[in-house]
Amino acid sequence: MNIVVLEELKAYIEPLTPDEHDALERSLLAEGCRDALVLWGDILVDGHNRYGICTKHGLPFQTVQNPRFQSMEDVHLWMIDQHLGRRSLSDFQRGVLALRKREIVAERRSRAKAEADQTTAPVPEAPTGDAPWEGEAPAAALAAVLEPKPLQSREDIARAARLSASQVGMIEKIQKQAAPEVVAAVRAGDISLNAAAVVATLPEEEQRAAAAAGKDELKQAAKRVRESRRKPRDESAEASSDAAPEAAPASDEVSALRQRVAQLEAENAELRQQVQMLSAQLV
pLDDT of residue 147: 52
- Structural contact between residues 112 and 141, judged by C-beta atoms closer than 8 angstroms: no
Asked, for residue 1, whether it belongs to a domain, the answer is no
Same domain (yes/no): 105, 152: yes
pLDDT of residue 146: 45
pLDDT of residue 83: 87
Same domain (yes/no): 112, 52: no
Same domain (yes/no): 158, 76: yes
Asked, for residue 272, whether it belongs to a domain, the answer is no
- Among residues 162, 194, 221, the one where a domain terminates is 162
Same domain (yes/no): 90, 153: yes
Same domain (yes/no): 188, 222: yes
pLDDT, one tens digit for every residue, the chain (283 residues): 789 999 999 988 888 888 889 999 999 999 999 999 999 999 999 999 999 999 999 999 999 999 999 999 999 999 999 888 776 788 998 999 999 999 999 888 888 888 888 775 554 454 444 444 344 444 444 444 445 566 778 898 998 888 999 999 999 999 999 999 999 999 888 999 999 999 999 999 999 999 999 989 999 999 999 998 886 665 665 655 555 444 444 456 666 677 677 777 767 777 776 667 666 656 5
Same domain (yes/no): 74, 157: yes
pLDDT of residue 128: 46
Cα-Cα-Cα-Cα dihedral of 118, 119, 123, 128, to 10°?
Answer: 180
Asked, for residue 210, whether it belongs to a domain, the answer is yes
pLDDT of residue 188: 86
Structurally, how many domains does the chain consist of?
3
Asked, for residue 265, whether it belongs to a domain, the answer is no
Same domain (yes/no): 11, 46: yes
pLDDT of residue 121: 52
Same domain (yes/no): 223, 210: yes
Same domain (yes/no): 183, 201: yes
Distances (CA, A) of 64 to 3, 78, 160, 268: 12, 15, 26, 51
Same domain (yes/no): 85, 150: yes
Asked, for residue 269, whether it belongs to a domain, the answer is no
Rounded distance between C-alpha atoms, residue 39 and residue 46, angstroms: 7
| DSSP category for residue 4 | B
Asked, for residue 204, whether it belongs to a domain, the answer is yes
Rounded distance between C-alpha atoms, residue 275 and residue 281, angstroms: 10
Same domain (yes/no): 36, 87: no
- Among residues 203, 218, 236, the one where a domain terminates is 236
Query: 11 lies in which domain range?
Result: 7-67
pLDDT of residue 63: 96
- Structural contact between residues 160 and 96, judged by C-beta atoms closer than 8 angstroms: no
Same domain (yes/no): 104, 84: yes
Asked, for residue 86, whether it belongs to a domain, the answer is yes
Rounded distance between C-alpha atoms, residue 174 and residue 172, angstroms: 5
How many C-alpha atoms does 112 have within 13 Å on its Cβ side?
Answer: 17
